[in-house]
Structure 1
Amino acid sequence: MGTLAAAGGSGNPTAGFQKVQLADGDFQVQSPYNVPESQRFQYRNGGHDYSSGLWQFEGYGYVPSGTSGVSVMQIHNEEGAAHSTVLMLHVYNGVLRFYSGVVIEPNIYDRLFRLNVMHDVGASTVAVYVDGEHKFSTSVTPSKSYY
């Protein structure tokens, strides 16, 4: 876990990471939100498979009250792996959870939030930040590659 904590710096989980852009065609933008789509996200160059290194994913989300069972973020293992994912963040009844278990953020409904997830492939760990605050870390099952 020391690598993940050190990578985030003093309260900024994005410090020291290189930005990788994504592309518009891979997003389905949902409502409600009061900012034009052009100011909400960018997506360029398609998806990214990776097999080593320390990766940090950042995005902003909004989950309207009444939404339940929605997946906010996932990291998938290589095709054919024993487990299809190493991380899934779901919302159940206003609570952001690691899969359907550990509580990450208890009150996620009706607010814009910033989500950062760090995946240290070599250490087989993930760390989750909400609004810049470290909320959760765990070991994950190793895989040959991820997406």
Structure 2
Amino acid sequence: MNSSYCYQLLSILILVGLQENFSSLCGADPTDGFTSVTLTEWNFELQKPNDIPLEKRYSFEDGIRRLWVYADDKPHNPTSHTQPRTEVRIRGLDYSSGAWQFEGYGFVPNGTSGATIVQIHGAAKGPTTLILRIFNGNMRYYSADLVATDLYDKWFRVNVIHDVDGGKVTVFIDGIQKFVVKYKGPGDLYFKCGVYAAPANISYYMESRWKDIKIYKKC
């Protein structure tokens, strides 16, 4: 076998390998390898300001959950000193090990700022492992690291993978990996979404909408 033929054969093999890897990367989805967990309406526990009826801060029509809150609303519990919120707490699927995933399509109207729209509740220290907040149309990890930009007035897909055993949390927006952070240790772990006012720099009115919310588990 002459050297020219060997070079051509090697080039073809390298090209085929690159194409296969590229196809694999392009075809990958955050939910690959996960199994969907059956949800009923019971799993969607609502938290809202404690002094007003739910329908004044929440609606569920045509598959879309709309949640809103005002900066001067009261906490969800009369004894709480937390910021106002209207949130869905995924009930009955608390976890402490394995790999779990939240998926949902979110929508944040222009003007909402300083609002947590997704969180993982529970950590070894502090109340949360992950908080995703919207500030001026951009998504941040708490109030610091930038996760995604230009999210106002459009539907966007959010996937949050919490690999407890692997010690990390990964955030995907519209199927693209945007952020990875270390896990904060064991706690009372579960997913939430909606609107929860940040400690500072918030708009008076805050809203998010959600549809096609799913929970996955890696078996």
> Do both proteins adopt the same fold according to a TM-score greater than 0.5, normalized to the shorter chain?
yes
Unaligned 5+ segments in structure 1 are 1-7
Following superposition of structure 1 onto structure 2, how do residues 1-147 of structure 1 map, counting pairs within 5 Å? 10-24=27-41, 25-27=44-46, 37-40=61-64, 46-77=91-122, 81-147=124-190
- Aligned Cα root-mean-square deviation (Å): 2.7
1:116 match: secondary structure = strand
Amino acid at match of 1:37: E
How many residues are matched?
132
Structure whose CA Rg is larger: 2
Contact 2:164–2:183 at 8 Å: present in 1 too?
A: no
In proportion to residue count, which structure has more strand? 2
Runs of 4+ in 1 over 2 A off after TM superposition: 8-11, 21-31, 36-41
| CA distance in 2 between partners of 1:10 and 1:124 (Å) | 25
Q: CA deviation at 1:76?
A: 1.1
Contact 2:109–2:152 at 8 Å: present in 1 too?
A: yes
Sequence identity percentage? 42
Question: In structure 2, do the counterparts of structure 1 residues 30 and 95 end up closer, same or farther at CA, with 3 Å as the change threshold?
Answer: farther
| CA distance in 1 between partners of 2:144 and 2:184 (Å) | 17
Contact 2:159–2:171 at 8 Å: present in 1 too?
A: yes
Amino acid at match of 1:61: G
| TM-score, normalised with respect to structure 2 | 0.53
In proportion to residue count, which structure has more helix? 2
Contact 1:115–1:129 at 8 Å: present in 2 too?
A: yes
